[in-house]
Amino acid sequence: MRRRKFISLLGGAAFVGSLAARAQQPAKLRTIGFLAPNTRAVDSQRVAAFVERLRNLGWIEGYTITIEYRWAEGRNERIAETAAEFVRLKMDVIVTAATPPSVAVKQATSDIPIVFAAVGDPVGAGVVESLARPGGNATGLSLQQTDAAGKRIELLREVVPDLRRLAIMYNSGNLSVLLDMREAQAATSVLGLEAVKSEIRSSQDIAPAFDALKGRVEAIYVCNDPLSATNRVRINTLALGMRLPTMLGAREYVEAGGLMSYGPNFPELFRRAAELVDKILRGASPADIPVEQPTKFDLVINLTTAKALGLTIPPSLLTRADEVIE
């Protein structure tokens, strides 16, 4: 009897222990789908800023959230596949950057909240109804800055004072890039320069595009885009081989050998995107969260590339630069 009672007590203790273990198990982790249009290398600093800000807000990978990362590497077919995958997986929030991924996810779901970290013209692309009242299931940060293209060209002309003809390289398959291209074209007209449009739609178009520019231009303006970002080393190498100074839209291009860039601080945009994700995970509706604008812009200059091109960067420009790479 004593033995049976002892076994019974052990069984009861095991049952209670099982209940306690279940009570201590964490609730189901919230899931974030992160669709990046570039490569892991291009987006590494942006992802780090996003994850760090989430952690500061109490969302820690593996403990309170799970993040599923996908890298499109500038290929639109991967974007559509991943958008469909994230919808099947029923993510709590989907985070995107650039126009093609944001449009693809918006087309794939009208229910799952979407936070875009950087879209050139979210209204024109149909991602939101308006900046102040997004409506629907998406909100984020817009890169729509009508004076950014003109500012870039003015900065480039400080380095290349004899500039007369400027190539504008753009991916015609990206709606926000078309906006950037048109603004750059308008700025060249205002500044008395001749614009030479250079259209690309795939990585195979880049080398022929440079061949077509030989002897026709003194510098090149590259519109920021997943295609150009993924192929930034090739673009910079070809430009340097033709001794063409480059004006670019993000520091990652300059780190890869480009001459200079002027544009939003992308890690800061991704930190702010994390704050929007936090609001949504805590119950806010994307429809009620206004689309935000960049507040921090960076000028980055590569002195090594300048020397290779035989260019002297004016001291006044160096003092205004946010970062100088040597």
Its CATH class, for the domain covering 148-264+298-325, is alpha beta
Name the residue ranges covered by the structural domains of the chain: 30-144+265-296, 148-264+298-325
One-letter amino acid identity for 7? I
- As a whole number of angstroms, the distance between CA 324 and CA 73 comes to 27
State the average pLDDT over residues 255-262. Answer: 97
- As a whole number of angstroms, the distance between CA 136 and CA 133 comes to 9
User: Three-state DSSP class for 165?
Assistant: strand
More confident of the two residues 198 and 24: 198
| Confidence at residue 176, expressed as pLDDT on a 0 to 100 scale | 81
| Confidence at residue 19, expressed as pLDDT on a 0 to 100 scale | 40
Could you tell me where the beta strands, DSSP code E, fall in the chain? 30-36, 65-71, 93-96, 114-119, 138-142, 165-171, 194-200, 219-222, 246-248, 260-264, 297-302, 323-325
Tell me which residue of 303, 249, 227, 265 sits closest to 45, measured CA to CA.
Answer: 265
Instruction: Find where tokens 């595009």 sit.
Output: 209
218-247 pLDDT per residue, tens? 999 999 988 999 999 999 999 999 999 999
Q: Encode burial over 104-142: b for 16+ CB neighbours within 10 A, e otherwise.
A: bbbebbeebbbbbbbbbbbeebbbbeeeeebebbbbbbb
How would CATH label the architecture of 30-144+265-296? 3-Layer(aba) Sandwich (3.40)
| Confidence at residue 292, expressed as pLDDT on a 0 to 100 scale | 95
126-135 pLDDT per residue, tens? 999 999 999 9
Domains 30-144+265-296 and 148-264+298-325 share a fold: yes
267-293 pLDDT per residue, tens? 999 999 999 999 999 999 999 999 999
